[in-house]
Amino acid sequence: MIKSTRTAVMTVLMLLLFLLPVTSIYADGNLLQNPGFEEGGEDAPSNWTKDMWISGDNAGILSIQSDEVHSGSKAAVIENIEPNHLKWVQTIKATPDSYYKISGWIKVVSTAGEGMGANILAVGVGGGYPSVTDTAGEWQYLEYMGQTGPKQKEFGIGASLGGYSSLIQGKAYFDDLSVEKLDAAPEGANVISLDSAAVSQDAGDKKADTPHKVSPTKMLLISALFSVFFAVLYTKAFRSEKLMKQPENVYSKWLSIAIGIAFILRVWIGLTAQGYQNDMNTFIAWGQRMVDLGPGKFYEEGYFADYPPGYLYILYMLSLIRGVFGFAHGSGGENLLFKLPAIISDLVLGYFIYQMSRKKLGSGIAFGLTLLFLFNPAVLVNSAAWGQADSFFLIFLLLSIHGAANKKFVQSAILFALATLIKPQALIFTPVLLFAFYHHRAWKQLGFGALYGLGIFGLLAAPFFWNNGGLVGLINLYKSTLSSYPYSSVNAFNLYALTDPMWSSLDLTWLGITYRVWGFIFILVAVAVAAFYSFKRDRLDLSKSYFIGMALIVVVFVLGTKMHERYMFPAVILCMFTYIASRDRRFLSLFLGFSLTQYINVAYTLTHLNAGINPGADGIVLVTSIANLSLLLYMLYIGYDVYVRGGVKPLPAPPTPEEKFDEDLKIIEQIRPHQKGGRLSDEV
């Protein structure tokens, strides 16, 4: 009896299974009917209606076909022959104030024009849902969340090519659309309103999820503040007898106070500002790995470590210190600790500026310049906010170029080797040293320098590669670092932020040439520019070295590919030293320019990254990119004027008593009452 009952039940069940259609019209939870376009004919799929912005067969075609399908035997196809907005639409009954997940599969054949691409339309809603103009020939899944309005009982969904007043040409396939009701609000997702009637006028009724709008207000205020500070120093302080002619010990006292305040400021920012957690965590992890595995096993196939060994020693020490103090993981103390090398490097660089400019410019101006560096937002955002180590690297790079400028070639080479050991970007500055050696025929020093430099390099790198890949491993590390992030721009607000969106593929072409090739071209251009300034006029004048270094990094950053937002950081201090070496005041203005663009580039990117997105092509990015291009041209022009034509424009000296008297007299003449009978020019 049991056997036959079981058989009977099984048979019935199997029969029932056969009765179910292969692709069900009503998917579990899917509120759409005929979501895969399986039912109905080629021109009239069940439950879907056509909607064409521009109608007519030569404007576009909505149809069903069987050649390209995602599942089942049919899929929808939309072809916009003219720029158009065509959609297959279905209206669904809904409950008010509920959440729905809307999704589907799209395969784009091609699109042309600037309009919204292929998307799963929320009828009546202008935007906010994802769209795609290129799916690389594959079926791509799109989804988004929507919320119905407080009185909304239905909404429309469409397979759509183009958007409201956002027309596009092209062709795309759509299949397996789905609308599912969610029980609760989805976590963290961007929810758009499906209520097409309530686009503008609901004041405070619905709690609309504001999309990630990163506000530039604080960043612009700080930029304005720094500009005012600069203007005051430039126009007033540097021309003030009182401030410029103090005795030496007063300036030393002021310097100590300034460094102290700069340190406290950085500590405060380091603790309160949200750094780039990704980088911070990476540093902390590497430090821990150094402690756990030691240098010999640090680099490993598959483990992400794109830094050369130099800074890893520092991270190792920081990790040990962290252990000694017992900072908890993720604590503010740990964050601050790992920002400390950069913070201290900032102060060291400030001190360098003072010491190296005192003799030439006078302690007064030297102190002012130090302030301009210590309280520079571009410097603060890099070390104290973001948590990167560019300042540390910069110490070695700066000392290396300083050595070259002062003909201490061996020293220069050694420091250069150390700089390269810390960050591969140092290699960009190789021409500075090579030209210096060449002009002074310093072959012996080149030899010694190379020897010592490579020696120290090898010595410090050895623990990492001795048993772990050897020389080949070391070279491979540098090669992979230099070729990583193969994109036109990695959040650098440069030329490529203007031509195409940042993060465009290197194989995309601009003016017929791929970005990959443009990158090479502009590296050659950078070297040619450096050579131009080095070989023109006075070849033996090595004080140009700072300018040449700055020119190299600025050309490479503004015109080169694969640049990250922080790569132009060296330009800021190199510009300062170019001013010190040349005494041309235009370099000070350039310093202000680079400080602001670098600050805005880094700060804006940082706020975006912490919100989980990259900066897009908005006004701030575009204006900063244009500014960078203008500063590049201005820099080349000043360099030409100073180093090729020999025309220097120094800061005006403090005015003499006679000059002051004359100026005062001129001011007072303005308010002298007019002669009798004359008319005041501003009376009606």
- According to the binding rule CB under 8 A, does residue 209 interact with another protein? yes
Closest to another protein by CB, 119 or 420 = 119
Q: Contacts with another protein: how many residues (CB under 8 A)?
A: 50
Contact 644, 259 (CB under 8 A): no
Closest to another protein by CB, 193 or 534 = 193
Quote the least distance from Cβ 661 to another protein, whole Å.
7
Beta-carbon contacts of residue 308 (< 8 Å; ≥ 6 apart): 420, 421, 422, 423, 424, 461, 477, 478, 481
Q: Which of 217, 326, 676, 677 binds another protein (CB under 8 A)?
A: 217
| Residue numbers 484-543 binding another protein by CB under 8 A | none
Structure tokens at 603: 């700060």
Contact 500, 510 (CB under 8 A): yes
**Would you give the binding string for another protein spanning residues 133-172, x where CB under 8 A is met?**
------------------------------xxxxx-----
- According to the binding rule CB under 8 A, does residue 210 interact with another protein? yes
- Among 212-220, 412-420, 499-507, 592-600, which window interacts with another protein (CB under 8 A)? 212-220
- According to the binding rule CB under 8 A, does residue 228 interact with another protein? no
- According to the binding rule CB under 8 A, does residue 114 interact with another protein? yes
Structure tokens at 90: 């279905």
Quote the least distance from Cβ 210 to another protein, whole Å.
6
- According to the binding rule CB under 8 A, does residue 216 interact with another protein? yes
- According to the binding rule CB under 8 A, does residue 249 interact with another protein? no
CA distance linking residue 341 with residue 283, whole number of Å: 12
Look at residues 101, 86, 90 and name the one whose alpha carbon lies nearest to residue 52. 86
Contact 569, 347 (CB under 8 A): no
Q: Which of 215, 242, 248, 512 binds another protein (CB under 8 A)?
A: 215
Q: SS3 of 142, please?
A: strand
CA distance linking residue 295 with residue 309, whole number of Å: 9
- According to the binding rule CB under 8 A, does residue 125 interact with another protein? yes
Q: SS3 of 172, please?
A: strand
Closest to another protein by CB, 97 or 114 = 114
Q: Which of 9, 44, 199, 264 binds another protein (CB under 8 A)?
A: 199
Closest to another protein by CB, 1 or 203 = 203
- According to the binding rule CB under 8 A, does residue 667 interact with another protein? yes
Quote the least distance from Cβ 502 to another protein, whole Å.
16
In degrees and rounded to multiples of 5, residue 560 shows phi and psi of: -95, 165
Q: Which of 41, 56, 127, 455 binds another protein (CB under 8 A)?
A: 127
Structure tokens at 252: 């030393």
CA distance linking residue 63 with residue 87, whole number of Å: 10
- According to the binding rule CB under 8 A, does residue 58 interact with another protein? no
* Residue 52 Cα distances to 24, 128, 365, angstroms: 28, 21, 70
Quote the least distance from Cβ 83 to another protein, whole Å.
6
- Among 9-17, 200-208, 274-282, 411-419, which window interacts with another protein (CB under 8 A)? 200-208
| Residue numbers 432-471 binding another protein by CB under 8 A | none
In degrees and rounded to multiples of 5, residue 152 shows phi and psi of: -80, 130
CA distance linking residue 170 with residue 183, whole number of Å: 37
CA distance linking residue 227 with residue 592, whole number of Å: 7
Q: Which of 3, 93, 672, 676 binds another protein (CB under 8 A)?
A: 672
Closest to another protein by CB, 9 or 623 = 623
| DSSP-H helix ranges across 440-544 | 443-465, 470-483, 495-499, 515-535
Quote the least distance from Cβ 208 to another protein, whole Å.
5
Closest to another protein by CB, 42 or 205 = 205
- Among 29-37, 113-121, 469-477, 507-515, which window interacts with another protein (CB under 8 A)? 113-121
Q: Which of 427, 471, 482, 623 binds another protein (CB under 8 A)?
A: 623
- Among 11-19, 89-97, 506-514, 656-664, which window interacts with another protein (CB under 8 A)? 656-664
* Residue 237 Cα distances to 62, 240, 260, 655, angstroms: 72, 5, 21, 12
| Residue numbers 63-92 binding another protein by CB under 8 A | 83
CA distance linking residue 583 with residue 359, whole number of Å: 13
- According to the binding rule CB under 8 A, does residue 622 interact with another protein? yes
CA distance linking residue 617 with residue 538, whole number of Å: 43
- According to the binding rule CB under 8 A, does residue 126 interact with another protein? yes
Q: Which helix (H) or strand (E) holds 173?
A: strand 168-182
Quote the least distance from Cβ 121 to another protein, whole Å.
12
CA distance linking residue 100 with residue 661, whole number of Å: 77
Q: Which of 220, 237, 267, 648 binds another protein (CB under 8 A)?
A: 220
Q: SS3 of 103, please?
A: strand
Q: Which of 665, 676, 677, 678 binds another protein (CB under 8 A)?
A: 665
Contact 53, 123 (CB under 8 A): no
CA distance linking residue 415 with residue 530, whole number of Å: 21
Contact 82, 59 (CB under 8 A): yes
Q: Which of 20, 511, 540, 671 binds another protein (CB under 8 A)?
A: 671
Beta-carbon contacts of residue 145 (< 8 Å; ≥ 6 apart): 99, 100, 101, 102, 182, 186, 189, 190, 191, 192
Q: Which of 200, 247, 328, 676 binds another protein (CB under 8 A)?
A: 200
- Among 190-198, 258-266, 325-333, 467-475, which window interacts with another protein (CB under 8 A)? 190-198
Q: Which of 670, 676, 677, 678 binds another protein (CB under 8 A)?
A: 670
Beta-carbon contacts of residue 104 (< 8 Å; ≥ 6 apart): 120, 141, 142, 143, 159, 174, 175, 176, 177, 178
- Among 191-199, 513-521, 541-549, 580-588, which window interacts with another protein (CB under 8 A)? 191-199
Q: Which residues bind another protein (CB under 8 A)?
A: 83, 113-115, 125-128, 163-167, 192-193, 197, 199-201, 203-204, 208-211, 213, 215-217, 220, 618-620, 622-623, 660-661, 663-665, 667-668, 670-674, 680, 682, 684
